[in-house]
Amino acid sequence: MRFLILLLAASLTAATPGENDWREPMKPFHVVGNVYFVGTAGLGAYLITTPQGHIVLDGGTPDDAPLIEKSIAALGFKLSDVKYLLNSHAHFDHCGGLAALKKRSGARMVASRADAQILEAGHHGSYGAGWADDFPPVHVDRIVNDGDHVQLDGTTLIAVLTPGHTKGCTTWTMQTNEAGKTYNVVFYCSTSVPGYPLVNNREYPNIVSDYEHSFEKLKKLRCDVFLANHTGFFDMRQKLARVHPGAPNPFVDPTELQRFVTASEQNFESELTKQRKAS
């Protein structure tokens, strides 16, 4: 079934890494301020640090929890100091490792109401697209609504609900400081359409309006650093190649989010037009 997901990924707005990239270990690195990358070569997972404990956003596939823990340790931090686990959306490649990370850390799991049901069931479908996956279920300790905050020692992450890709798809935003400057960081959920029926979708009747509202919401976000759960979305490898002492941080680009949203919306509209004509 996962192979089918990869085939459907052709509809993504940016080159999505293949399954080999998903499983390829990646050396963790500092992104900006108190934000670190702890995912794989293809799947984004993030550590946000504070003196009073840490936050981990996304858990990769069910096989990725040990890698994420090792990456956290390699950066000089401890998984046992993680206080909150967050999720962008409840698909196995982004939530599969959360149960193990929660068990190992004792952290509180935070998710949107719609996706919390999927996380606790350990199974997600595809709103009629014909694929599904199981993963270790994880108990959700706190439900967040649009605009809710997760705060830890001066660091605040804001939940921006951007449904469509899943009914509870959550884009997270925060501010961080580095070298006397404040940066707006956006952890993008997803706005791709991986084979979903957009016309007469009985499992998700309001799927089109949800996508449309999410695009409008995303256009209004302020963003200096664009990050996501698939590393191809923000060209991670290319940016890492431009990291040099004394050079500008290549992850800082105030125009990148809006370029990505525009391209993704055009992709969505093209798919919607095609399906309407076919129906």
Q: Could you give the percent of the chain with pLDDT greater than 70? A: 93
CATH number at residue 17: 3.60.15.10
pLDDT tier at 21 (50, 70, 90 boundaries)? confident
Looking at residue 240, its amino acid is L
Rounded to an integer, the average pLDDT of 101-119 is 98
Strands 82-86 and 108-112: parallel
Report whether 87 contacts 57 (CB < 8 A): yes
CB 238 within 8 A of CB 164: no
Q: Taking Cα atoms as reference points, which of 72, 59, 42, 44 lies closest to residue 135?
A: 59
pLDDT at 22 over 80: yes
Confidence of residue 196 (pLDDT cuts 50, 70, 90): very high
pLDDT of residue 251: 98
Q: How confident is the model at residue 19 (pLDDT cuts 50, 70, 90)?
A: low
Residue 20 — very low, low, confident or very high, per pLDDT cuts 50/70/90? low
Q: What is the mean pLDDT of residues 159-183?
A: 98
Total domains present in the chain:
1
Q: Residue 23's pLDDT is what?
A: 80
Which range has the worst mean pLDDT, 2-11, 26-35, 220-229? Answer: 2-11
CA dihedral (174, 146, 230, 178) in degrees, to 10, reads: 0
- Within the chain, residue ranges assigned H as helices are 2-8, 19-23, 65-74, 92-95, 98-105, 113-121, 207-219, 236-240, 256-278
Residue-level pLDDT at 11 = 36
Tens of pLDDT, residue by residue over 212-234, are 999 999 999 999 999 999 999 99
Q: Which residue range is the domain that position 97 belongs to?
A: 2-278
pLDDT digits (tens, 9 = 90+) for 124-147: 999 999 999 999 999 999 999 999
Q: What is d(CA 3, CA 12) in angstroms, rounded to the nearest whole number?
A: 15
Q: Which of 190, 228, 208, 183 is nearest to 275 (CA)?
A: 208
pLDDT tens for residues 61-104? 999 999 999 999 999 999 999 999 999 999 999 999 999 999 99
